Structure 1
């Protein structure tokens, strides 16, 4: 009886922990893998490569990591940590009233940009990022799960996650292809997860979509991203619109 009581107390405290409570609001490994796989199958431009995806909660703690290929090395191994970095960045620099994708940060962090130097802040925790058994990478037991990886990445592939109340609850990061394709896949995956109730952003549509306004190395609006030498402008027109929060009357 005593052992049962202790076990129940431990289970209750574990379930009530802030980390688990935050991740409970977010996609688990299976949901992330499904959304990532569906998004990867669309026409996203780039090299048509398999992808890594990571979801973090509002505190930056990793909730889930997944990949789209048949094996753990079917996508760039280095993109696993980059996906976590992107998720962390989009979450860390977005707010309830303003979403900034990692694509939006590209020009702003170049020399002379309004956020130059941001990419040198919040370094990756390499112990947390590379610890554990490689056989578990991208599974429900990925060693990054439950850890705060940190890192700042300033090209396409990271988006903040907003629920149907317009509340920011975390971020998603995608990596494994050109940065333009990474953004497109992250965008579609977030839409598939129904966590794209974006309140405002710096794009012409007032959301956090990628902006291709860089000419001669300069972004007209200050938050532009370079093109990637493919058909990204055509793909941009096919991306689903972000959802709107319903105002109760």
Structure 2
């Protein structure tokens, strides 16, 4: 009799846990802030970055922009050149950057939380052999069966890109990935909350970071909590690497290298701490 009672209690407990799990389960990409962000990017993808112009530094190439939700599910993938066939993209944009943009979004989401953001740019020095997070870049690999699946003509098409509704995984350790935050003050939940992340790729890593920073600001999802940059203020790229003859170090431990045609201090929108280029 005692065993039956104990067994019934265990089953009841499992049932309770199962019911609770069902109660908190959320539909992927359903957060209202993400729904709005996806809609905006879907309509304005071509204006994310002017092709052939370099107000954000870099090379002026088209950009891939991926948004993931708080669990890492891809919500949207757009390209500033517009959805096209693979031949068209090969002449305009880096094809490899599509998956990298999703990888950056996954990384920023996976290693940021409600109280602490880490941009992919913040990981550049930390994963070097002398860094505090060495080896992180080899964890959580990209799921290649998802990354290269589907009709190439739909790549960059927004919510119909084959990456959407999947968790691609991957860890990227250079600029272009940022967590997305809302401020729920005044609502029942209250406070700052991470809703997902954005990944941008297609140009130099410094330009990718600056473009991601500006898009996040335009979407109103930049209520960033204290991070490692700007005296603990945010998740900006930190350009503080010094040294020579292969003996390079970041003063903060979270620094990122400068890039070809580095974004200027006047044009980076506050995205780079320690920017010396004017």
TM range, normalised to the smaller chain?
Answer: 0.7 to 0.9
Question: Computing the radius of gyration over CA atoms, which structure comes out larger, 1 or 2?
Answer: 2
- Match of 1:49, SS state, is coil
Judge conservation of contact 1:62–1:148 (CA < 8 Å) in 2. Answer: yes
Judge conservation of contact 2:204–2:260 (CA < 8 Å) in 1. Answer: no
Judge conservation of contact 1:19–1:146 (CA < 8 Å) in 2. Answer: no
Moved more, 127-136 or 113-122: 127-136
- Match of 1:20, SS state, is coil
Which runs of 5 or more residues in structure 2 are unaligned? 1-23, 185-191, 273-278
Name the residue aligned to 2:154: 136
Name the residue aligned to 2:7: none
- Match of 1:19, SS state, is coil
- Match of 1:108, SS state, is coil
Tell me how large the CA RMSD over aligned residues is: 2.2
Name the residue aligned to 2:71: 59
Counterpart check, 1:48 vs 2:60: yes
C-alpha distance in structure 1 between counterparts of 2:144 and 2:268, whole Å: 38
- Match of 1:104, SS state, is helix
Q: 1:80 to 1:177 in 2, by over 3 A?
A: same
Name the residue aligned to 2:255: 224
Judge conservation of contact 2:207–2:262 (CA < 8 Å) in 1. Answer: no
- Could you tell me how far 1:43 is from its partner in structure 2? 1.2
Name the residue aligned to 1:12: none
Counterpart check, 1:204 vs 2:252: no
Counterpart check, 1:106 vs 2:106: no
Name the residue aligned to 1:9: none
- Which residue, 3, 7, 18 being the options, matches 2:26? 18
Moved more, 225-234 or 142-151: 225-234
Q: How many residues align?
A: 226
Name the residue aligned to 1:244: none
Counterpart check, 1:195 vs 2:238: no
Judge conservation of contact 1:85–1:150 (CA < 8 Å) in 2. Answer: yes
Which runs of 5 or more residues in structure 1 are unaligned? 1-15, 242-249
Name the residue aligned to 1:97: 115
- Could you tell me how far 1:32 is from its partner in structure 2? 2.1
Judge conservation of contact 2:210–2:269 (CA < 8 Å) in 1. Answer: no
Judge conservation of contact 1:58–1:171 (CA < 8 Å) in 2. Answer: yes
